[in-house]
Structure 1
Amino acid sequence: MEESDERKAPDVRFGQALFRQRRRAGRTQEALAGHISCSSGHISHVENGRRPLSEADVSKVDDFLGAGGRLIRVYGDLYEPENVDWLGQLHELQAEADVIREYHNSIFPGVVQRAGYAEAVFKSGSSWLSAEEVADSVKLRLERSAVVLGAGGPEYHVVMDDIVLHRPVACPGIMKDQIDATIELAESGRIMLQLHGWDQLPNPGLDGPYSILMSAGAPDLVHVESIYGGQTTDDPLSVRRFGVLFSRLQANARSPGSSVALLKEWSEKYGRSARSA
C-alpha cells in the first residue's frame, strides 16, 4: 500500500494549507522550522501530511506566516470537530479537489445555485434567520461557488433527482432562472449533469445528498450532508461504497444530453407559469 493511503485526512488537509500559506508568505521550510525550534524535515513531513503539527505551534506558525488566523481556523475545523463550520469545511475540500462527484435528491446543489434560488432555500430551511443573515448567507454561497466553478477549479459531475424540478422551492420566475443557469453551465462543459428519474427504481440515493471528493495528493473523501450538519470520512470502505452508489445512480440516470433537454422543457413550463402569474 502506498504511503499516501495511510495518511490521515486532517493531517493531509492541514499540510496542504500550511504549504500554500508558506509559499504565499515567501518563507522557506528552514525559516519556519527555526521559528518554532524544530527541523526542516519535520516541517516537510507536516506539509506532506505524514505528521501533525503540534497544537502549541499553530498560533506561532500562523503569526510567522502572516495568515491572519486562517491556519488557526483550519486547524480547529480539522482537529476539533465539535467546532467545525461544516459548510466552510466543505467549501475548502471542494476548492482543493481535482474531481467532485455529487448527488442531490431534493434541491439544486449549492455549487450551481443562483441568488434567488439560494435565498429561497435559506428562508425555507432556516426560517429563524433574519433578512440580513439570509443575505449574508446567499452572498457567501455565491462567492464559494465562484471559487469552485472558476478557472482551474475541479471537474464537477452532479446527478440530481427529477424531484428538484417537480417540486419548486420558489416562484416560477426564480425556478426558470435557476434552471437556465444550470443549462448554461452544462452546455458550456463546465459541469457534467445527469437527471435521475424520480420514478426510476431502485433508487440508490434515497438516503440523501453526498459528495465524493478526489485529489491527486490526498486520500479520497466522502461528505454526507444535511441542512443542519455534515460528516466527512476518508475511510476506504466508506468511500468505495459511496462510489458504487454513485456509479449506479449515474448508470440509471439520463444521459447528459437528455438531461439538458429535460431541463429546457421545464424552463419553458416555468416560463409559461411566470408569464401567466
Structure 2
Amino acid sequence: MAKGHGQHKVGWDFFGAELKIRREAAGFTQQDLGTRVFCSGSYIGQFETGIRKPQLDVAERIDAVLKTDGFFARMCRELIDSSPYEHYFAEAAYLEGLADTIREYAPLFVPGLVQTEAYARAVFLAGQPHLTDDEIDTRVAARLERQRLLDDPTKPLLWLVLDENVIRRRVGGAAVMSEQLTRVAALTRKRRITMQVLSIHVGVPAVGAMLSLMTFKDAPPLAYSEAAHSGNLLDDPARVTGLERAYDLVRAHALPPDASLTLIESVAEEYANEH
C-alpha cells in the first residue's frame, strides 16, 4: 500500500518492523500481543505493516508487555510531535494518503484537500490570528503538501458534499472565493473529484459536523469527525456504519453533480465580477 503524504513514513515503517521483531522475540503471536494491549491481533498486524499507527497509550502498553523500556512510546511520541498537523488530525492526515476512497461532508469551509493557498491562509489567519507569519506559512505549506495525493489521476476517489454555506461564506474576500470555487469546479470538470452542494433549503442535514469517511484496500473503513480545535478518529464498525448511512442521506438530499457544478461556477463568477 502506498504511503501517505506529510508524515515521517520511514519512521512509522521502522516502528512496525521493530514491533514485529520484538514481538516475535518475546514469543507472542499478533493475537497474543493484541489481547494484552487491549486491541485486536489484526491491529497489531496493521501496526507492523505501517497501514495504521498506534495511539500513544497503546505504544505504552506495548512497551510494558514486551519490556522494551519505553522504546515504542518514545518513538511514537517523536513521530507524533514531528507532524506538521495538529495532534488530533495527525493520524487522519496520514491515513488520507493510504485511502482508496475519501468521502467528505463540509459544513463550514472548503475541504483542505482542495483549498487554494490564499483560501487556506485566510482560514488560518481567521481561526488563529495570534500565530506568527512563519507559523501560518508552515501550516499553509503542510495543507498544500497534503494535496499531493491528488497528483495520482485516479486514487483516492474523492467525493465531496459542500454545504451551500461553504460557497456563500466570504473567506478572504471576493477574489479569494472566486479563485477557490474555480479550483473546485476545475477539479470537478477534470473528473478528479465528484462534488455536490447541499442546498440551504434542505433544512437540518443528517450530519452536524465535518465528516470524512475513508476506505482502504486491506484495512477496515474509518471515520474522522472534527469540531473546533478537536477531532475524533472512529474505527468501531457499528459507529462507522452509522456515519456512512448519515453521509448517504446527506448525499441523497444534495443537488446532483451537474447542478452542483453549475451553481459553483455561477457563484464563482459572481465573486469575480465584484473585483
TM-score normalized by the length of structure 1: 0.74
* Aligned residue identity for 1:101: R
User: Does 2:39 match 1:37?
Assistant: no
* Aligned residue identity for 1:47: G
Q: Sort the Cα spacing of 1:198 and 1:75 in 2 relative to 1 into closer, same or farther, 3 A.
A: same
How far residue 262 of structure 1 moved from its aligned partner, in angstroms, is 0.7
1:226-247 deviations in Å (ceiling 9; x for gaps): 2401011111221111111111
How far residue 203 of structure 1 moved from its aligned partner, in angstroms, is 2.1
- Alpha-carbon separation, structure 2, partners of 1:71 and 1:213: 23
- Alpha-carbon separation, structure 2, partners of 1:70 and 1:222: 25
Q: Sort the Cα spacing of 1:127 and 1:28 in 2 relative to 1 into closer, same or farther, 3 A.
A: closer
Contact 2:164 2:198 in 1 (8 A): yes
**Equivalent position SS for 2:109:** coil
- Alpha-carbon separation, structure 1, partners of 2:209 and 2:182: 24
How far residue 166 of structure 1 moved from its aligned partner, in angstroms, is 1.5
**Equivalent position SS for 2:205:** coil
What residue number does 2:247 align with? 246
What residue number does 1:7 align with? none
What residue number does 2:200 align with? 198
2:112 to 110, 113, 120: 110
* Aligned residue identity for 2:246: L
Contact 1:103 1:160 in 2 (8 A): yes
- Alpha-carbon separation, structure 2, partners of 1:223 and 1:35: 30
The number of residue pairs the alignment matches comes to 240
How far residue 216 of structure 1 moved from its aligned partner, in angstroms, is 2.5
Contact 1:161 1:196 in 2 (8 A): yes
Q: Sort the Cα spacing of 1:215 and 1:268 in 2 relative to 1 into closer, same or farther, 3 A.
A: same
How far residue 267 of structure 1 moved from its aligned partner, in angstroms, is 1.2
Higher normalized helix content (fraction of residues): 1
1:153-198 deviations in Å (ceiling 9; x for gaps): 4111110100112121111111111011111111111111100001
Could you tell me the percent identity over the aligned residues?
23
Contact 1:108 1:164 in 2 (8 A): yes
Q: Sort the Cα spacing of 1:47 and 1:270 in 2 relative to 1 into closer, same or farther, 3 A.
A: same
**Equivalent position SS for 1:137:** helix
**Equivalent position SS for 1:262:** helix
TM-score normalized by the length of structure 2: 0.75
How far residue 47 of structure 1 moved from its aligned partner, in angstroms, is 3.1
User: Does 2:204 match 1:212?
Assistant: no
- Alpha-carbon separation, structure 2, partners of 1:256 and 1:70: 45
Contact 1:18 1:71 in 2 (8 A): no
Q: Sort the Cα spacing of 1:70 and 1:28 in 2 relative to 1 into closer, same or farther, 3 A.
A: closer
What residue number does 2:121 align with? 119
* Aligned residue identity for 2:126: S
Q: Sort the Cα spacing of 1:74 and 1:219 in 2 relative to 1 into closer, same or farther, 3 A.
A: farther
Could you tell me which runs of 5 or more consecutive residues in structure 1 were left unpaired when the two chains were aligned. Answer: 1-16, 63-68, 78-83
Could you tell me which runs of 5 or more consecutive residues in structure 2 were left unpaired when the two chains were aligned. Answer: 1-8, 34-40, 49-53
